[in-house]
Chain A
Amino acid sequence: MSMIAYYFRLALRSLRRNPVLSALMMVAIGVGIGASITTLTVLKLLSADPLPQKSAVLYYPQLDPRGSASTKSGAANAEPPDQLSYIDAMYLLNAHRADRQAVMAAGNFALRPDPVNGRAVKGFFADARETSADFFAMFDVPFLYGSAWTAADDDARARVAVISKALNDKLFGGGNSIGRTLPAGRGQLRIVGVLRDWRPTPRFYDIESRSSFGDAEQVFVPFLTARELKLGLDGSINCWSNSADIDHLETADCGWLQFWVELDTPAKAHEYLDFIGAYSAEQHAKGRFERAPNVRLRSVMEWLDYKRVVPGDVRLQAWLALGFLAVCLVNTVGLLLAKFLRRAPEIGVRRALGASRRAVFLQFLTEAGLIGLAGGALGLLLALAGLWVVRQQPADYAELAHLDLAMFAATFAAAVVAALIAGALPAWRACQIPPALQLKAN
């Protein structure tokens, strides 16, 4: 232990002797680590599991009702469409073959709220989710007041809504608004639930519409109610037949609905895959599906991976930062080598006085580690600055970019490990210096 303390003192003394060179190495490591941690934090944020406690049991079924592969829409694409048609989604919903299931579409429609405290509130457009009752239980959506609507409400096309905390704050000053009405489009909705803050990141359940990392919706309405009230849709609609009539989406050959199922065991997932395969085969036999069964059942993380939700630029930045760190490390190796070998006479004397090669090696490695610690501290400051810059960016995930504890620790560990790797070669070269030769030369 006392030897370590001794190496520590030697290292400090050595660093002070060449302040410019020492600072240069610390800055190189600090900048490399800072850039890497900043980009990796963003990458980690964007590739995170949005629902860690449940994502493994949630699946996204896909069917392939398109024309045969030789037709225009089929254009040699082996993957089934990303969204389901109304006919298929309603069939899967009513089949109740999963533990839970929900159909959904992105909506956007005008809210014309009643005056708040006698003050008129201007009408505005709100992002909405038009879905079915299981949505809330399936995705563990937390409620502040009230609760989800029921499957009976779905069937009855009940005029009900669940609203976000943000909308509740805006319209009702954060109070318990259960039972209040919300004039939406051409109808009146009765509020049955208010959510707590809820923002799955990325918003895995619908990455087709809007952005994958934005806020969750403000209003949730039963899907059939929204259809009956003709509340506006806001998602993409992809049709695979030229005669598709998107004024009548209930019958059109268009994919526009997302559909999620909860399957609590792998065996159930297997069964469900068989079930949608059998449904496809039956539709194929009837002539409605022109292709042989072509189905997928991806879990949340598989789906996010397949849809490449992490922007290419973010992955590219992370690679770039790691390349940059590599240059900084090579740079530090060179500078440490120069620094250590310049002290050849001193090493010769220490070796002649009985220091073992191991002792010399450890002494220089300690110095490298110390540079790493200082570089890590600098890297941490730079990462904090870098993340601050990221938060000023207009990207919709920007506000979420913060250094967490794991990354904080990783910064230091990475800096010290990087410096030790950079120091190993120079320290090894230094400990090879023979004692006698150096004494003679002096």
Chain B
Amino acid sequence: MPVRPILSAMRRNKVGAILIALQMALTLAILCNALFIIHQRLHNSERPTGVDEDNVFVMLNEWIGDTQDIKSLQQADLAALRQLPGVVDAYPTNSYPLSGGGWSTGADLALGQKHATAHTTDYFADDHAQDALGLRLSAGRWFNASEVVDRGENDEKPPSNALIVTRALADKLFPDGTALGKTIYVDDTAQTIVGIVEHLQTPWVSSSWAEGFIENALLQPNRIIAQRYYYIVRTRPGQIGTVPAAAQKALLALDKERVIRNVRTFAEVRAKAYRDDRGFAIILATVCAILIAVTAFGIVGLTSFWVTQRRRQIGIRRALGATRRAIVHHFQTENLIIAVAAAAVGAGLAIGLNIWMVSKFEMLRMPVAVVIGGAAAVLGLGQIAVLWPALRASSIPPALATRAA
């Protein structure tokens, strides 16, 4: 395909070509960044928590009476929950992954360190917690019943000395992989790592503060003695169905002086935790779709105009022996030249926009592959949009050349 006649034709239509190129470049810049954000949000919302999510549900239990002996009430609750048909195990805790609220602390290698070696969340656990969450232990052991001690919600220092950490936290503290059996300091209290779990996320997601240590969790053999805490219950595979309702009924039958709320399956917990991210991804996707449509129709409109403008020239070229295919190729090549120029400018704009957003909105840097993919998509979009006007051009009869305008 000779490019020279196309270029000279474009020179006669500079403004139109520049407008199409500008529109494609802006579209590329917005599209790349929007798609990158969508990818980020959806990717984040699918990360596993380490919990057996299909079979676990949670409930928030709040004692509203003048409750003196929370421990015995709690033990009665747990006995009832563990006896329910379909239930594997249950345990009480201060927080759980994706809950949105919990404890954070620092894990140190020495006493009185100035900067914490690792940030981590701090979960309460007992001897039943592993089965109740469905956690996979990759080294060491779980807590025994005799290790589990009472802890109020305001006890800053852990009353226990055994600790289970996640693989990520273990590797952060001891990069050489020797964490098991080591002593670390949490809230200036010596703790021995007795076990390592594969995965367990923090309660916080979609916050730039917590993203840095989302896989860092430690479990302490502590029984939460407080007005308000969660019960985590795991059911046998596929049997979750009516268990949450039965569990609530069983607890209220034991003692009415309480409020049970936020009863959620883990699927609901996950949906709630990533609600805003998913909503934002949907908005962005809608904008992208409309943007693509607007740009495509813009290309169709302008190219159609050029076709109308050049009807006579096209007729003459056809009369001089140009095939229909050659006419279609002319407009396709023309669009390709514009699109390549647009892609070059748009890629620069996309990267600039990303750098600006990184500085303003705590965003990650966009990989170059996204820009290349976006550029390819915009080139493809141009080719698809130009096809209809190009086909119309190719159907201009050669006889047109013989007629006066």
Contacts and interface: CB of A to CB of B under 8 A. Distances in A.
A393 B283 CA distance: 11
Contact of A327 (B27, B37, B257): B27
B23 A330 contact: yes
B386 interface: no
Contact of B259 (A124, A247, A316): A124
A439 to B, nearest CB: 13
A5 interface: no
B290 interface: yes
Contact of B106 (A70, A72, A312, A335): A72
Contacts of B283: 317
Interface in A301-333: 312-313, 315-317, 320-321, 323-324, 326-328, 330-331, 333
Given A323-B26, A330-B23, A335 B301 contact: yes
Interface residues of A, number: 51
B302 A335 contact: yes
10 contacts: A21-B301, A28-B294, A186-B66, A246-B156, A247-B152, A330-B298, A331-B295, A331-B298, A334-B16, A334-B20
A169 interface: no
Contacts of A321: 287
Interface stretch (B51-59, B72-80, B108-116): B108-116
A125 B64 contact: yes
Interface in B243-258: 257
Contacts of A315: 360-361
A31 B290 contact: yes
B301 A327 contact: no
B174 interface: no
B284 A320 contact: yes
Contacts of B361: 312, 315-316
Q: Top 8 A-B pairs ranked by shortest CB distance?
A: A338-B305, A110-B64, A334-B19, A331-B298, A123-B64, A330-B23, A247-B154, A312-B361
B275 interface: yes
B187 A242 contact: yes
B34 A72 contact: no
Given A123-B259, A324-B30, A327-B294, A334 B287 contact: no
Contact of A333 (B19, B114, B152, B295): B19
B240 interface: no
Nearest to B298: A331
A441 B405 contact: yes
Interface residues of B, number: 57
Binding site secondary structure of chain B: helix
Given A324-B287, A335-B301, 11 more contacts: A112-B65, A186-B66, A242-B187, A246-B154, A331-B23, A334-B20, A334-B298, A338-B306, A341-B305, A342-B305, A393-B279
B227 A232 contact: yes
A327 B302 contact: no
B158 to A, nearest CB: 13
Of A124, A321, A334, most buried by chain B (CB within 10 Å of CB) is A334
A376 to B, nearest CB: 17
Contacts of B187: 242
A4 interface: no
A80 to B, nearest CB: 19
B308 interface: yes
B64 A327 contact: no
A374 interface: no
Nearest to A321: B287
B156 A245 contact: yes
A338 B16 contact: yes
A118 to B, nearest CB: 19
A147 B208 CA distance: 43
Nearest to A330: B23
